[in-house]
Amino acid sequence: MTQQEAEARINELRDILNQANEAYYQKADPIMSDREFDEKLRELLEIEMEFDLQTPDSPSVRIGGRPTKTFPNVQHPVPMLSLDNTYSPEELDDFDRRVKKLLGHSDFDYMVELKYDGMALRLRYEDGKLRLGATRGDGTTGDDITPNIRTIEDIPLKLADQSSGIIEVRGEAFMNIDDFARMNQQRADEGLPVFANPRNATAGTLKLQDPKIVAQRPIRYFAYDLLFEDEEPDMTQEQKLNKLEDLGLQVCEHRKACRTLEEVHRLIEKWDAERHSHPFETDGVVIKINQERYRNELGQTAKAPRWAIAYKFEAEQAVTTIDKITLQVGRLGTITPVAELDPVELAGTTVKRATLHNEDEIRRKDIRPGDQVLVEKAGEIIPQVVKVVTPEETPRGKEFTMPETCPECGSELIKLPEEVAWRCVNIECPPQVRSRIEHFASRDAMDIDGLGEQIVDQLVSENLITTYTDLYELSIKDLTPLERMGEKSAGNLINAISESKNKPFDRVLFALGIRFVGTTVARDLAGGFGNIEALVNASEEELTAIDSIGPKIAQSVRLYFDDPKNLELIERLKHHGLQLEAEKKETTSSIFEDKTFVLTGALPSLTRKQATEMIEEHGGKTTSSVSKNTDYLLAGDSAGSKLEKAQKLGVEVISEERLLEMLNSQ
Ligand SMILES: [Zn+2]
């Protein structure tokens, strides 16, 4: 094999493996067998080694691919059954009649709970300590994914009651819609494949082999059932949920015991109408007999209990036609194809556009202009195309091809072998310029009130600004000629821009829009380096010494500061008086000088913010993750993985009470 042949084969294998990974994780629709995957992976690894061509992004090293070994299996002592589904009020009436007939009376309540669209997990606690976390699997045997489950903050490692013997908790892992959208946006910005919906993202994440990556994903957990190993105490479902809450688990507040079926119907109607008001996705309601003894009496079929049923809300999909496919250029130059649709009503809004994610996705689904498609809302701000439903005899439009140049600025598009997205790398590309400024002004960044998308558009197209630094040179008379901009609103905007100069250093760092630098990383960089000079001069090695900074982020930060254009921007920001140095807090004492704290869990009386301020007032600092440089872990109730890590590293763990004692003893 020549060097050239090796390179060609490596590219081919990486493509196939990336596609296979995506199909397996994001689509839950594998395109090759595990065995075939492993063989290809091995071949790739061998060639990469022989020709020294391994890169950090290769599927041979990238964590987050398909499991390289399977998880240990675990038998469920009580099977994890699924529930029968109903789709209409009449079917629910049938269920009610069936139950009453079997029991011979109607002397029971129904417990009604929202149904979360996620992944079922069982937890086993022994004397209050988490010993096992497992997936449902086929209902009798699941995967033991305990290391991953220990990273979920909602799942306490220790229960509030340590004397409870062996208990089993059942519940659902899921992602909040906002968290999911943010994570997907970040993945899209990074050129990584996006997840289809929060459920797939949750399932894909929990199957990862590296708990460190799982820990970074925003997984939540609601408990909904409690089982005791020895004997089943006579508790109602309602009492169980309250008990779960007392034990320190998260239980959804949307639950209600109903005395009559009529009440159940009314509740379902109400919850159906409110289904979009929750931070998470819900696809229905679960109705269970509240009293344990009647549950036992009713028993179960081979597949599902007879005492419970799921009522599914109507699916939120609609059929419409793709008018054309356009391309959108993101802040970091990522090109996203978008379907322009015939407007259609979906989930209470009129939908005109749907994301097509990337070229591979379009090809996989064979989406073409003129197609009739099924669109769905999946927790994203804009909906997506599920599949093409054009009738077979209908003539189809032309296959979509990605242009070679940016639709906005004409620069040549590039695509890195390990990424799925095409990218415009011209930093003067107008939509990128606009979205960089919008990002700079956004709420988590400089929070400039009144500087929305439309104003930025106008400012850029009128050539009043080309970078965010230009904002600080605007005057009222620059603004007043703009559309819908009076003297007063111009004055307000100038004030808001000027006030943003007081935003702390970490906000400024985030606002710069460096790839991979989110709010947490920005805070850690600001805390770790203290000022912009130290950061500009930091080597990749010095950067990765900060716990939350990996090589990918370090490289990106270096790349940013190695560009003289960016250094010039920073000089100008400095000239305008922005905060480029971490604030030295007015300290009332220095007893925590040089001490680094990490906070975890819920503190009994202080909020995290109050505790952080208290620590800073006394000269200490706080960071987001535990490392060997951490002096104290301030741990409250339901402390998660951080507590465990601190114990492993021998970091002193203190309670709120101890913190207050330390402060009072000075
Ligand atoms: Zn461009």
Q: What's the CATH number where 471 sits?
A: 1.10.150.20
Closest listed residue to residue 292, CA positions, set 342, 248, 241: 241
| CATH code at position 611 | 3.40.50.10190
Q: Is residue 354 within 8 Å of residue 366, measured between CB atoms?
A: no
Tell me what percent of the residues of the chain surpass a pLDDT of 70: 93
Confidence of residue 35 (pLDDT cuts 50, 70, 90): low
Q: Which two tokens stand for residue 381?
A: 């701000």
Distance of CA 260 from the midpoint of ligand 1 (Å):
62
Average pLDDT, the chain: 86
DSSP letter for 453, please.
H
15 and 154 together in one domain: no
Closest listed residue to residue 184, CA positions, set 423, 29, 351, 378: 378
* Annotated catalytic residue within 40, 69, 101, 115: 115
Number of domains within the chain = 5
50 and 101 together in one domain: no
Cα angle at 452 between 450 and 457, to 5 degrees? 125
Residue 654's DSSP bridge partners are 634
Residue-number span of the structural domain to which 377 is assigned: 317-401
Could you give the CA distance from residue 80 to residue 154 in angstroms, rounded to a whole number? 21
Q: Which of 13-22, 30-39, 356-365 has the lowest mean pLDDT?
A: 30-39
Confidence of residue 483 (pLDDT cuts 50, 70, 90): confident
DSSP letter for 195, please.
P
Distance of CA 572 from the midpoint of ligand 1 (Å):
25
Cα distances from 152 to residues 209, 422, 561, 636, in angstroms, run 15, 34, 35, 15
Q: Which of 101-110, 449-458, 624-633 has the lowest mean pLDDT?
A: 624-633
pLDDT of residue 23: 67
Residue pLDDT, tens place only, 369-396: 999 998 887 544 568 888 898 888 888 8
Distance of CA 436 from the midpoint of ligand 1 (Å):
13
Is 414 among the domain residues? no
pLDDT of residue 316: 74
Q: Which of 33-37, 251-255, 273-277, 489-493 has the lowest mean pLDDT?
A: 33-37
Confidence of residue 465 (pLDDT cuts 50, 70, 90): very high
pLDDT of residue 63: 35
Could you give the CA distance from residue 638 to residue 157 in angstroms, rounded to a whole number? 7
Determine the 3-state secondary structure of 402 from DSSP. coil
Distance of CA 406 from the midpoint of ligand 1 (Å):
5
- Residue 354: phi, psi to the nearest 5? -140, 140
pLDDT of residue 597: 92
574: left (phi over 0), alpha (psi -120 to 50) or beta: alpha
Given a cut of 50, whether residue 69 has pLDDT beyond it is no
Is 580 among the domain residues? no
Closest listed residue to residue 73, CA positions, set 162, 146, 8: 146
Listed residues 16, 36, 69: the one ending a domain: 69
Could you give the CA distance from residue 600 to residue 621 in angstroms, rounded to a whole number? 15
Q: Give start and end residues of each alpha helix (H) in 167-320.
A: 177-189, 198-206, 211-216, 237-246, 261-273, 292-298
Distance of CA 189 from the midpoint of ligand 1 (Å):
15
476 and 553 together in one domain: yes
Secondary structure (DSSP) of 351-380: EEEEE---HHHHHHHT--TT-EEEEE--SS
Element spanning 10, H or E = helix 3-25
Whose tokens are 């971490």? That residue is 582
DSSP letter for 145, please.
-
362 and 377 together in one domain: yes
- Say whether 100 is catalytic: no
Give me Rg for the CA atoms of the chain. 28
Is 165 among the domain residues? yes
Is 78 among the domain residues? no
Is 455 among the domain residues? yes
In the β-sheet with 621-623, what is the strand arrangement from edge to edge? 621-623, 596-600, 632-635, 652-654
**pTM of this prediction?**
0.53
Tell me the mean pLDDT in the region 598-613: 83
Q: Which two tokens stand for residue 303?
A: 């597949």
131 and 29 together in one domain: no
- 41 vs 344, more confident: 344
Could you give the CA distance from residue 520 to residue 517 in angstroms, rounded to a whole number? 8
Is 295 among the domain residues? yes
Confidence of residue 242 (pLDDT cuts 50, 70, 90): very high
Could you give the CA distance from residue 368 to residue 384 in angstroms, rounded to a whole number? 14
279 and 364 together in one domain: no
- 192 vs 269, more confident: 269
- Residue 132: phi, psi to the nearest 5? -155, 140
Given a cut of 80, whether residue 115 has pLDDT beyond it is yes
Listed residues 312, 330, 364: the one ending a domain: 312
pLDDT of residue 380: 45
Distance of CA 515 from the midpoint of ligand 1 (Å):
17
Tell me what percent of the residues of the chain surpass a pLDDT of 90: 41
108 and 134 together in one domain: yes
pLDDT of residue 633: 93
Q: Which of 259-268, 569-578, 632-641 has the lowest mean pLDDT?
A: 632-641
Q: Which residues contact 565 (CB under 8 A, 6 or more apart)?
A: 427
441 and 486 together in one domain: yes
Listed residues 401, 422, 442: the one ending a domain: 401
Is 385 among the domain residues? yes
Confidence of residue 43 (pLDDT cuts 50, 70, 90): confident
Distance of CA 404 from the midpoint of ligand 1 (Å):
11
Q: Is residue 369 within 8 Å of residue 323, measured between CB atoms?
A: yes
Could you give the CA distance from residue 628 to residue 346 in angstroms, rounded to a whole number? 51
Bridging pattern class, strands 141-143 and 166-175? unpaired
Q: Which two tokens stand for residue 347?
A: 């989930």
Q: Which of 88-92, 162-166, 283-287 has the lowest mean pLDDT?
A: 162-166
Distance of CA 435 from the midpoint of ligand 1 (Å):
12
Given a cut of 60, whether residue 27 has pLDDT beyond it is no
pLDDT of residue 33: 67
Closest listed residue to residue 383, CA positions, set 469, 294, 462, 319: 319
Cα angle at 632 between 627 and 638, to 5 degrees? 90
Closest listed residue to residue 98, CA positions, set 307, 291, 268, 293: 307
pLDDT of residue 65: 36
Distance of CA 279 from the midpoint of ligand 1 (Å):
35
Q: Which of 46-50, 471-475, 632-636 has the lowest mean pLDDT?
A: 46-50
Distance of CA 422 from the midpoint of ligand 1 (Å):
11
536 and 463 together in one domain: yes
Given a cut of 90, whether residue 3 has pLDDT beyond it is no
pLDDT of residue 391: 86
Tell me the mean pLDDT in the region 488-515: 94
| CATH code at position 277 | 3.30.470.30
- 379 vs 233, more confident: 233
Confidence of residue 267 (pLDDT cuts 50, 70, 90): very high
Element spanning 13, H or E = helix 3-25
91 and 55 together in one domain: no
Is 584 among the domain residues? no
372 and 452 together in one domain: no
pLDDT of residue 580: 95
pLDDT of residue 68: 36
Could you give the CA distance from residue 202 to residue 195 in angstroms, rounded to a whole number? 9
Residue pLDDT, tens place only, 311-366: 988 767 888 999 999 999 988 888 989 999 999 888 667 889 988 888 888 998 89
103 and 30 together in one domain: no
| CATH code at position 342 | 2.40.50.140
Cα angle at 510 between 210 and 153, to 5 degrees? 35
